[in-house]
Amino acid sequence: MAPSRIPDGEQRGWIVPIGGAEDKEHDTAILRRFLKLSGGSSADLVVIPTASRLADTGDRYEKLFLELGAAQVEVMDFDTRRDCHEPGRVQRLERASGIFFTGGNQLRISTMLGGTPVAQAIRARNAQGVTVGGTSAGASILSEHMIAYGVEGASPRADSVRLAPGLGLTNRVVIDQHFRQRDRLGRLVASLAYNPFAVGIGLDEDTAAFISPDNTIEVEGSGSVTVVDADDLQFSSMHLVGENEPVCLLGLGVHILTKGATFNLNTRKASAGSLAPPKT
Amino acid sequence: MAPSRIPDGEQRGWIVPIGGAEDKEHDTAILRRFLKLSGGSSADLVVIPTASRLADTGDRYEKLFLELGAAQVEVMDFDTRRDCHEPGRVQRLERASGIFFTGGNQLRISTMLGGTPVAQAIRARNAQGVTVGGTSAGASILSEHMIAYGVEGASPRADSVRLAPGLGLTNRVVIDQHFRQRDRLGRLVASLAYNPFAVGIGLDEDTAAFISPDNTIEVEGSGSVTVVDADDLQFSSMHLVGENEPVCLLGLGVHILTKGATFNLNTRKASAGSLAPPKT
């Protein structure tokens, strides 16, 4: 689904995919920045723990965000698709200044929320300027084309990834998480091989891509964000190979960004940003 | 060590790094092609099992190459550096039409052979046209800058790789093996971040890069060869970061080659080769 239309004179909100296992005890840099972009001490957050099967996931984030200074946090879980049609919940989302998806299984979010008024409300809120983020499964769900599951390994095979429609806040990226820790380059690259229009972003644990309203990725956290750009792809054998065969892909561009570096999704240019201060 | 000088009017031999676990029972495509380039039915091979701590590694390859049709195969192991000074062994290498290193630990080869007459003889033979190859550790040893060991994971950290001098048949590449299977992109990229002059090649298991006398990589086997080219590297933070910190690298070129595709190490151009036959 394409992103919601941004109302005239307004700016889209930040989109914040996090690679999972973000620091919750020490510098909490990622969660603090998410909170700041959601209104800081006047933030009114909704936490959606639907991806998780653990009963206390939502409560844990509620406690964390309150400790970090949020004015209000509400945990909103969805057990059925009918829950996602409740006007009360939709109205609650319409008051939120930030919306956060926890980890778990991204297919639980997409199968529950997909196409419902709740999903539409989240999409509309982001288009109106509200920050929407998520960690692990909650990161994958944010884009239009979502990696549902896949096999691991550094080089791509034709069957190494399964895509599914996500929440569609942006169609510029395909997101993968736990990137360094679970060896997911192959499946991220395979997802681009199907159709190179999007940019692949692989998020290490405790690392987030803060995607600004003007589509610049800023990195936060202790790891790196691997950007795979297939814009100049010279050749792909994806259409020629059998299911378990390796795929030939020539001409990929790769940038490994750490905190301070940026990538502009409109121009597809990477910058060292504050990592390369001018000589004085 | 820079490659040996190629005698006037002669051509360097093929250099054949293999990613480990090459097929030995079914199509044996990699070993058959190695044998063919070493003289086929008149091949006289020397197998060097020094990397391995298993007593039967050499014998296993001797049997394999004889079954595939080699005229003669000799297993030549080295237990001490003094062994590597023996004139009899050097003379035996000077008769060989192909030299093959088994897997194991590449530091066992480099610490034993490094700088000895045996190493010089192998380098000279390759410069005179003899095929030299190896699998796993035996692949890593072939280049001038060798990955001695490193940590695994898709994104590079400053301390994720340790380089050591290898046999030096080519200085154009840094080789890593078991690439898809052991998640080694990060360490391969880190090795290029130190000095981007070389091209990184990551070999999947049962996959080989046949490097021709004119420095074109041809792929053999069931997996892929990941070529990482840092020639257009725009920025590296390697000199700025602490030991365990992630490295920022902007502007890497990546090609994933499968059988049929090629990469020219002189021009740094990838080609789809026989994967993209002209329309007729």
Q: Distances in Å between the alpha carbon of A79 and those of A49, A75, A89, A103, A211?
A: 10, 13, 13, 16, 30
Q: What angle do CA B75, B79, B84 make, to 5 degrees?
A: 80
What residues contact B217, with CB distance under 8 A and at least 6 apart? Answer: B201, B209, B210, B211, B225, B227, B257, B262, B263, B264, B265
pLDDT band at B183 (very low <50, low <70, confident <90, very high): low
Q: Which residue of A has its CA nearest to B155?
A: A180
Q: What is the dihedral of CA A63, A65, A68, A69, to 10 degrees?
A: -100
Q: Which of B33, B50, B187 is nearest to B114 (CA)?
A: B50
The confidence score (pLDDT) of residue B185 equals: 80
Phi-psi region of A168 (alpha: psi -120 to 50; beta: other; left: phi over 0): left
Q: How many residue pairs from chains A and B have C-beta atoms closer than 8 A?
A: 147
**DSSP string of B207-231?**
EEEEE-TTSEEEEEESS-EEEEE-T
% of chain A residues with pLDDT over 90: 75
Averaged over A238-256, what is the pLDDT? 90
Q: Which of B249, B259, B268 to mutate to test the interface with A (most CBs of A within 10 A)?
A: B249
Give me the residue label for tokens 């991806």: A51
Pairing of strands A161-165, A145-150: antiparallel
Residue A90 or residue B157, greater confidence: A90
The confidence score (pLDDT) of residue B195 equals: 83
Length of chain A measured in residues = 280
Q: Are B167 and B122 in contact (CB under 8 A)?
A: yes
Using an 8 Å CB-CB cutoff, list chain B residues near A179: 154-155
The 10s digit of each residue's pLDDT in B212-259 is 999 999 999 999 999 999 999 999 998 888 888 899 999 999 999 999
The confidence score (pLDDT) of residue A173 equals: 94
Residues 242 to 261 of B: which have CB under 8 A from any A CB? 245-258, 260-261
pLDDT band at B1 (very low <50, low <70, confident <90, very high): low
Whether pLDDT at B127 is above 90: yes
Residue B153's CB: how many other CB atoms inside 10 A? 22
Q: Which of B76, B165, B49 is nearest to B115 (CA)?
A: B165
Backbone angles phi, psi at B194, to 5 degrees: -60, -45
Phi-psi region of A39 (alpha: psi -120 to 50; beta: other; left: phi over 0): left
What residues contact B89, with CB distance under 8 A and at least 6 apart? Answer: B76, B83, B118
Q: Which of B159, B183, B219, B232 to mutate to test the interface with A (most CBs of A within 10 A)?
A: B183
Compute the mean pLDDT over every residue in chain A, rounded to the nearest whole number: 92
CATH number of A15-261: 3.40.50.880
- Are A235 and B276 a contacting pair at CB < 8 A? yes
Residue B239's CB: how many other CB atoms inside 10 A? 9
The confidence score (pLDDT) of residue B180 equals: 73
CATH number of B15-259: 3.40.50.880
CA distance A83 to chain B (A): 39
Averaged over A134-147, what is the pLDDT? 95
Q: From the candidates A22, A62, A205, A220, give the one annotated as an active-site residue.
A: A205
pLDDT band at A30 (very low <50, low <70, confident <90, very high): very high
Q: Which residue of A has its CA nearest to B232?
A: A253
Q: Which of A226, A248, A270 sits opposite B272 (nearest CB)?
A: A248
Residues 127 to 166 of A: which have CB under 8 A from any B CB? 152-156
- Are A250 and B256 a contacting pair at CB < 8 A? yes
Residues of B with catalytic annotation?
Answer: 136, 178, 205
Q: Where are the domains of chain B?
A: 15-259
Q: Which of B223, B254, B276 sits opposite A246 (nearest CB)?
A: B223
The confidence score (pLDDT) of residue B10 equals: 86
Q: Which of A151, A155, A182, A244 to mutate to test the interface with B (most CBs of B within 10 A)?
A: A155
The 10s digit of each residue's pLDDT in B98-123 is 999 999 999 999 999 999 999 999 99
The 10s digit of each residue's pLDDT in A191-242 is 888 888 889 999 999 999 999 999 999 999 999 999 999 999 999 998 888 8
Using an 8 Å CB-CB cutoff, list chain A residues near B222: 246
Q: Are B256 and B226 in contact (CB under 8 A)?
A: yes
- Are A261 and B189 a contacting pair at CB < 8 A? no
- Are B270 and A237 a contacting pair at CB < 8 A? no
Averaged over B167-184, what is the pLDDT? 86
Averaged over A124-151, what is the pLDDT? 93
